[in-house]
Structure 1
Amino acid sequence: MMKRFLLFFALCLGTGRFAQAQNDSLLIRSIYEKALESHVAYNYLEYLSNRIGGRLSGSPQAAAAVEYMRAVMDTLPFDTVYLQPVMVPHWVRGDKEEARALSSYRGSISLRVCALGNSVGTGEGGISAPVVEVHSFDELKALGRKKVEGKIVFFNVPMKQHHIETFSAYGEAVRYRVSGASEAAKLGAVAVVVRSMGTALDDEPHTGALRYEQGVPAIPAVAISTRGAEQLSALLRQDPSTRLFIETHCRMLPDVLSYNVIGEVWGERRDTVIAVGGHLDAWDNGDGAHDDGAGCVQSVEAVRILRQLGVKPRYTWRVVLFMNEENGLRGGIEYARMVRERGEHHLLALESDAGGFSPRGFSFDMTPEHFRRIQNYLKNMLEPYGLHIFRLGGSGADISPLKGSATILAGLRPDSQRYFDYHHTAIDTFDKINRRELALGAAAMASLIYLANQGMLH
């Protein structure tokens, strides 16, 4: 590794960039030292997770999180901290989530489920109907209305285990959660059950948002745990006449006012921005420690460390804690609208929304030519810190509306193997956070911000 790094510096010398590369290397080392010695981000996350908890948009907990993070940022060396108003959906889970399989052979079997976000509820008394199991939308359509009408559709589509990067498996399976209810309703289904988006075989149902298609009846939708999905599938093979009873009391209330929390450090070029952030909202069934409290505190910590090291901002550094990524993306959309209205340009927008695990690198949404130009420099500067993934394609949901207003959109890529054990579940809690892993993520983000600030990502 050292020989390779010296060779890299020698190449830089030939192009007149040796001194810059040497300074960058020393500063990045200082970033990592500061981050690993600090408990600041870990303490912020402990409060968000254990004292406030699930922060679903429109909830009192979301409002408390906004006030807490604004107060935190007011104590740090930002030039200004402010709230950006945004109207957000207000979905509530209700006080009952119950499911039972009813078999003439096995009797009544309780199943662990949770309502999908934005779902309508069954109302008092619930819904009882025969179950039809499918493994794809094509299989559902092949059954036709005659075999689906009046039934509960069970989408039993596991996340495929052969992927090394688990987000690839998630991307393949999540469409059944997002669109399954409307696709089933087109054929007359009365409700849907979706196998949870998780890689582990366990009893934890995973929530997550669905989208109802306009003009299609909205039917109740729940997620079943992966072990429960296996149990229900086995029961249907044994007894195809098995019925399912579901009762949920979730509902959508009128939109409410919430806020993105924004802190700025002003640079020499005020209208050019380097932004970093995560989403402050989180599902109500857990603490939202990994999704995405970790990303929020890492973003604040990244800028705090750069300020502590005395790095001079050439551009405006902006931390944005977005509201409503989980079931609407209203915060990201409203932020992009503000950016366009102000006529600002983002040199870099970086998001952390893949958990607080050990960082492995970054994904980039930019032109292929630009990516090739900076790829080797990034690799040589950051690989000594365990960052080896530098991938073209992908960034973050909240910053995606900035396309056209940003030169580079980027996403922090932590190790993904454990993320979907906790994602959108009741066990996404603070005790699953490792302080050093969280700090390493903040250091990786600070390093990328620093390199952008120094003009090394142009």
Structure 2
Amino acid sequence: MIKKLFLLFLLTCWSGIAQSEDQKQIKALYEAALTEGKAHDWLNHLSNQIGGRLSGSIQAQRAVDYTKAQLDLLGLDRVWLQPVMVPKWVRGTPEFAYLETVPGMSTNVPICALGGSVATPLGGLKAEVIEVKGVEELKALGNAKISGKIVFYNRPMDPTLINTYAAYSGCVDQRYSGAEEAAKYGAVGVIVRSMSLRLDDYPHTGAMSYGDTPVNQRIPAAAISTKGANLLSATLELSPNTQFYFKQNCRQLEDVQSYNVVGEIRGSTYPEEIMMVGGHLDSWDLGDGSHDDGAGCVQSMDVLRLLKKTGYKPQRTLRVVLFMNEENGLRGGNKYAQLAKEKGEKHIFALESDAGGFTPRGFSFDCSDANFEKVQSWKELFEPYLIHLFVKGGSGADIGPLKNDDMVLAGLRPDSQRYFDHHHAENDTFEHVNKRELELGAATMASLVYLFDKYGIVPPKKIKG
């Protein structure tokens, strides 16, 4: 009994010492981020000197060159570019739209082409409008009511859902596949309510797909601002024969070569085990992509810098990856996973920041129950920094292709209430990112990386045959 009590005492003491060391290291990471952080300066350059970084654009290439140069300056063990072919879609001249109740009586409304859409005819497109709440309503209406008309998808994000990502998921299908489905019933165009909970005049773009629709049967698709959507809906109720006119000049060009930007610190004890952090370097072209996803890129870069700054020597290889083409193809994430598999690389952990630069609340994890229990045991270490959200769920689009049963995938989860005010819109700009919130996110990410590097992951149990 005395021996057991003594062993328990030793284990308790060791646990206390380890936790004390972890507390000191995490505190050092937060203090370094909040007093000597680089994320905000890097984001300032990406946003204000380069701007929106649509895949295949000159701005995207400038962002590749800039971030590689900054990683070179950090003194990492290795920095390189990973070639990847990406789609090149261009918006063209600004879009224009109006609704017309009677000839000569028109009201302009703000629209923007959806990413990947075809152009309207040279002189624009004008037709009557049929309003629906989602793609599921099309079948009930049929060709007779849809053919020759513009389909207006007007299902809003659900304001009662506290998790705004759930609200977004609940209606984004009308943006992504709305044109493909409407074309089956003879529609000549598609207008989609912007994916935003805010009532304003900013239309929100985003990726859309035509599926297997032949090129000559594809119809133009645009997003309308939330205020514009409400006006159009109210007008149709009073004047069902209202016509809608819009003009856009976008086009799809041949694929071009771009790059993922990669940097790493080689592990001192288990260099073959790779832990990575990342975000996507591309953005849409309407704003400057500060929240989506410049913030995630600069936070990921700062994770490695903060660990070096605080004198931490990683046991495992730590890698930062700035992915290209998350927004309209996921080519960068798929290419990275493909090359990792071909090279036989052993990734054990991946963390993505792609939810904006707002105040960090915690993480979501795609992992085994055993690894999630391990994360739960670290809760007390994060409580002083008001990090409280540790949930099982998704991680991130770019790290998703890496998934296997032998690793942990995680996603930084900032406060999401304002994210969709800016997502894919003209107001996703630098002044809407708070410096302190951005730095807190970088420190929170660095803390989780530190803990997984120090303690490793729980390997899956092998089933004996």
- Give the TM-score normalised by the residue count of structure 2: 0.94
Mapped to 2, the partners of 1:319 and 1:11 lie a distance apart of 40
Task: Give yes or no for contact 1:349–1:406 (8 Å, CA) kept in 2.
Answer: no
The equivalent residue for 1:370 is: 371
The equivalent residue for 1:428 is: 428
Change (3 A) 1:388 1:292: same
Q: What amino acid does structure 1 have at the position aligned with 2:144?
A: K
Task: Give yes or no for contact 1:105–1:239 (8 Å, CA) kept in 2.
Answer: no
Count of aligned residue pairs for this structure pair: 448
* Structure 1 residues 312-391: aligned runs within 5 Å: 312-371=313-372, 373-391=373-391
Q: What amino acid does structure 1 have at the position aligned with 2:337?
A: A
1:274 CA displacement: 0.6
Mapped to 1, the partners of 2:256 and 2:285 lie a distance apart of 17
Q: What amino acid does structure 1 have at the position aligned with 2:327?
A: E
The equivalent residue for 1:306 is: 307
1:30 CA displacement: 0.7
Change (3 A) 1:13 1:89: same
The equivalent residue for 1:3 is: none
Change (3 A) 1:406 1:193: farther
Correspondence for 2:120 among 80, 105, 122? 122
The equivalent residue for 2:198 is: 200
What whole-Å deviation, never above 9, does each CA across 1:304-325 have from its counterpart, x for those lacking one? Answer: 0101111111111000000000
1:139 CA displacement: 1.6
Task: Give yes or no for contact 1:182–1:218 (8 Å, CA) kept in 2.
Answer: yes
Q: Does 1:279 align with 2:277?
A: no
Secondary structure, counterpart of 2:350 in structure 1: strand
Q: What amino acid does structure 2 have at the position aligned with 1:84?
A: Q
The equivalent residue for 1:180 is: 178
Secondary structure, counterpart of 1:17 in structure 2: helix
* Structure 1 residues 83-162: aligned runs within 5 Å: 83-104=81-102, 107-162=105-160
Secondary structure, counterpart of 1:350 in structure 2: strand
Mapped to 2, the partners of 1:38 and 1:283 lie a distance apart of 30
What whole-Å deviation, never above 9, does each CA across 1:301-358 have from its counterpart, x for those lacking one? Answer: 1110101111111111000000000000000000000110111121210000000000
1:102 CA displacement: 1.2
Correspondence for 1:27 among 14, 25, 28? 25
The equivalent residue for 1:248 is: 248
The equivalent residue for 2:77 is: 79
Task: Give yes or no for contact 1:163–1:169 (8 Å, CA) kept in 2.
Answer: yes
Task: Give yes or no for contact 2:278–2:297 (8 Å, CA) kept in 1.
Answer: yes
Mapped to 2, the partners of 1:332 and 1:54 lie a distance apart of 20
What whole-Å deviation, never above 9, does each CA across 1:358-407 have from its counterpart, x for those lacking one? Answer: 00000001123431x21421212112211111010100011011112751
Secondary structure, counterpart of 2:68 in structure 1: helix
1:271 CA displacement: 2.2
Q: Does 1:222 align with 2:222?
A: yes
Q: What amino acid does structure 1 have at the position aligned with 2:280?
A: H
1:77 CA displacement: 2.3
Q: What amino acid does structure 2 have at the position aligned with 1:274?
A: M
Q: What amino acid does structure 1 have at the position aligned with 2:256?
A: V
Mapped to 1, the partners of 2:378 and 2:199 lie a distance apart of 37
The equivalent residue for 2:3 is: none
Mapped to 2, the partners of 1:12 and 1:68 lie a distance apart of 51
Q: What amino acid does structure 2 have at the position aligned with 1:330?
A: R
The equivalent residue for 2:271 is: 270
Task: Give yes or no for contact 2:40–2:438 (8 Å, CA) kept in 1.
Answer: yes
Change (3 A) 1:121 1:13: same
Change (3 A) 1:437 1:364: same
Mapped to 1, the partners of 2:130 and 2:36 lie a distance apart of 53
Q: Which runs of 5+ in 2 are unaligned?
A: 1-7, 459-465
1:215 CA displacement: 3.4
Secondary structure, counterpart of 1:86 in structure 2: strand
Change (3 A) 1:277 1:406: farther
Q: What amino acid does structure 2 have at the position aligned with 1:126?
A: G
Mapped to 2, the partners of 1:11 and 1:233 lie a distance apart of 70
Q: Does 1:231 align with 2:231?
A: yes
Q: What amino acid does structure 2 have at the position aligned with 1:284?
A: D
Change (3 A) 1:448 1:375: closer
Q: What amino acid does structure 2 have at the position aligned with 1:200?
A: R
1:123 CA displacement: 3.3
- Give the TM-score normalised by the residue count of structure 1: 0.95
The equivalent residue for 2:62 is: 64
Q: What amino acid does structure 1 have at the position aligned with 2:334?
A: I
The equivalent residue for 1:6 is: none
Q: What amino acid does structure 1 have at the position aligned with 2:152?
A: F
Secondary structure, counterpart of 1:285 in structure 2: coil
1:456 CA displacement: 5.3
The equivalent residue for 2:400 is: 400
Name which of structure 1's ranges 398-407 and 262-271 shifts more when overlaid on structure 2: 398-407
Task: Give yes or no for contact 2:110–2:225 (8 Å, CA) kept in 1.
Answer: yes
Q: What amino acid does structure 2 have at the position aligned with 1:266?
A: R
Mapped to 2, the partners of 1:402 and 1:81 lie a distance apart of 20
What whole-Å deviation, never above 9, does each CA across 1:116-137 have from its counterpart, x for those lacking one? Answer: 0011111310111110000022
Q: How many percent identity over aligned positions?
A: 54
Change (3 A) 1:456 1:270: closer
Q: What amino acid does structure 2 have at the position aligned with 1:90?
A: K
Task: Give yes or no for contact 2:155–2:171 (8 Å, CA) kept in 1.
Answer: yes
1:269 CA displacement: 2.3
Change (3 A) 1:47 1:405: farther
Task: Give yes or no for contact 1:77–1:307 (8 Å, CA) kept in 2.
Answer: no
